[in-house]
Amino acid sequence: MFTGIVEELGTVAALENRGKGARLTVRCSVVREDLREGASIAVNGVCLTATDLRSEGFSADLAPETLERSNLGALRPGSRVNLERPLSPVGRLSGHIVQGHVDGTGEFLSLARLEDENWWLTVRVPAELDRYLVYKGSIAIDGISLTIARLESDVLSVAIIPHTYRSTTLESCRRGDRVNLECDVLAKHVEKLLHKLELTKSAKVDRLTAESCEGDISTLP
C-alpha cells in the first residue's frame, strides 16, 4: 500500500521490449536506500516489483496489462518518474490509501499558474471512472495524492501547491500527455456493496412476486 506522497523523482535509464511486455530500468537514490529484491515500488503510481538492484537504481518487469492500462509504455530514456516506497507499519498516512492498481489513464489538459503561486491542474477522465469521482474526494494522478477541487462533465480539476509542483513530474507534463489515474479504493468498495445490495433486493422482490402469483393460482376455483 502507498500514500501518494512522492519521495523522489527518478530517471528512466531504459525501456526494453520483452515479448508482449517490457523491462523498465530507473536511476534513483533515495528510494534505493532500503529497497530489497522483490519489494514493491510505485512508479508513476503503478505498483511494480523491483528486481536487478544496483547502486544507482533498479529494474522492473512490465506485464502487457500494465502497458495497456498505464502510461509506462510511453516512457523513454531520460523521462522523469514519480517514485514511492510502500507504507511501513509505523509510517504516517499523509496522503490517502493508494494501491498502485491504476484504473486507466486521463488526458492532461492544462496546468495554469495562479496568482498565489499555486497551480490549477485539469485532466480529462474516461467516462467509466466518473462514478468513483466526488467533489473533495481523493484521486491519485501519476501516483500523486490529490483532492478533487472541481468536476465538470468529463474534466476534473485539482489545486497544486508549489511543493508538489517542484517535487513531481507535473512540471514536465504537456497537453495531450496521458496520466495514470487511480480512484479512491473506498469509493470502489462502496459501489460494490451497493451493487450487491441492489441484486439482493431485486432477487427478494422477484421471489415475493413469484410466491404471490403462486398464491393467486392456488385460490382459483
Active site residue 25: no
CA dihedral 176, 179, 185, 190 (to 10 degrees): 10
Closest to 41 (Cα-Cα) out of 93, 2, 88: 2
- Of the candidate CATH numbers 1.10.3720.10, 2.170.130.10, 2.40.30.20, 2.40.128.20, the domain formed by 104-186 belongs to 2.40.30.20
Helix and strand tally (H, E) in the chain? 3, 12
Q: Is 63 a catalytic residue?
A: yes
Tell me whether residue 127 is one of the annotated catalytic residues: no
Residue tagged active-site, from 22, 28, 42, 47: 47
Dump pLDDT digits (tens) for 143-174. 999 999 999 989 999 999 999 999 999 999 99
For the entire predicted model, the pTM comes to 0.85
Annotated active-site residue 94? The verdict is no
Class of the CATH domain delimited by 8-84: mainly beta
Judge whether 169 counts as a catalytic residue: no
For the question of residue 122 being annotated catalytic, the response is no
- Spot the catalytic one: 101, 189, 195, 203: 101
Each residue of 170-194: pLDDT tens digit? 999 999 999 999 999 887 767 777 7
With a pLDDT cut of 70, the percent of the chain lying above it is: 88
Q: Is 49 a catalytic residue?
A: yes
Q: Do domains 8-84 and 104-186 have the same CATH topology?
A: yes
Domain ranges of the chain: 8-84, 104-186
- Of 11, 40, 51, 167, the active-site residue reads 40
* Residues 39-71: tens digit of each pLDDT: 999 999 999 999 999 999 999 999 999 999 999
